[in-house]
Structure 1
């Protein structure tokens, strides 16, 4: 049985979501009080950060999550709406697409998917006119200082075999 479509405007208001720099809408819902430190990989890295963070994230109105990477693992959780394709590029140029969705309604979906630290990734509703509410949990916790939005043209040059997908899911105006 297919579920009813979600009302994006109502969710934005009800969940107090705000525009995200990569596209879509979000709100942080959890930031662990416990702190962790990363293993140092440069002299300047000694800041403690939250052990984990979580957000609600809404894709709607044709918006997508533009290509970006973070320095922590990120677990995506499906909550409601249409299936979401999370596209991940590994260091060797291989493309993996995780289709998040309600596995009861869509046999080709999963409820959760992991994007490993440092991987470039982007997400979009499988149906361009769809809307989906997902959650993202990041550990160690997300910090905007560790967020890189792909520069236009940079990923296409590095991964020419995926040029069309990369260009389509680039930064939104």
Structure 2
């Protein structure tokens, strides 16, 4: 069985993955040609998009949110914990993994639009290779990386987890 680092290198090369701003590696694999219009903003966008996404080493998916539902799909490696915070401050952790081998996991998990979320591997010595499908389609203009301190003040009951998976805010806002 190949080591985690050789498997990670193979995945990066085979699927032409690039660094993602929230952590890990990714590549967009699909962008629907059909366009839809957002009711609130009137902006047009692709009806759907999809990516490959890889977490390994020290990488995690930092707290962020987008304006669309995001469906995560498990492909290979170890299970992934996807932490989701709703507007009321309720935290739930979805466990994405091989549901045939890990009974407490699911092959697919949905993160609702506008919820803050972050993801990390359950086994820090392994990797997680997953996919994400977004509808209406993902646009970086609707991606917001959380300001860790602000999120901790908004949800103090989850400050430790937010701090562990946080990064400084960038200029992209939902």
TM (normalized to structure 2)? 0.92
Change (3 A) 1:80 1:4: farther
Deviations 1:90-132 (A, max 9, x none): 1111100000000111011000000000000000001122201
What is the root-mean-square deviation in Å for CA atoms of aligned residues? Answer: 1.4
Q: Give, in whole Å, the separation in 1 of the partners of 2:121 and 2:113.
A: 22
Partner of 2:38: 38
Does 2:89 correspond to 1:93?
yes
Partner of 1:161: 157
Which of these residues, 141, 164, 174, is aligned with residue 145 of structure 1? 141
Partner of 2:9: 9
Q: Give, in whole Å, the separation in 1 of the partners of 2:33 and 2:94.
A: 31
Report the CA distance between 1:62 and its aligned residue: 2.1
SS in 2 for 1:153: helix
SS in 2 for 1:161: helix
SS in 1 for 2:148: coil
Of the structure 1 ranges 126-135 and 108-117, higher mean CA displacement relative to structure 2 is found in 126-135
TM (normalized to structure 1)? 0.93
SS in 1 for 2:13: helix
Report the CA distance between 1:4 and its aligned residue: 6.8
Q: Where do 5+ consecutive residues of structure 2 fail to align?
A: 169-174
Deviations 1:121-159 (A, max 9, x none): 000001122201000000000000000000130110000
Partner of 2:105: 109
Contact 1:24/1:58 (CA < 8 Å) preserved in 2? Answer: yes
Change (3 A) 1:59 1:165: same
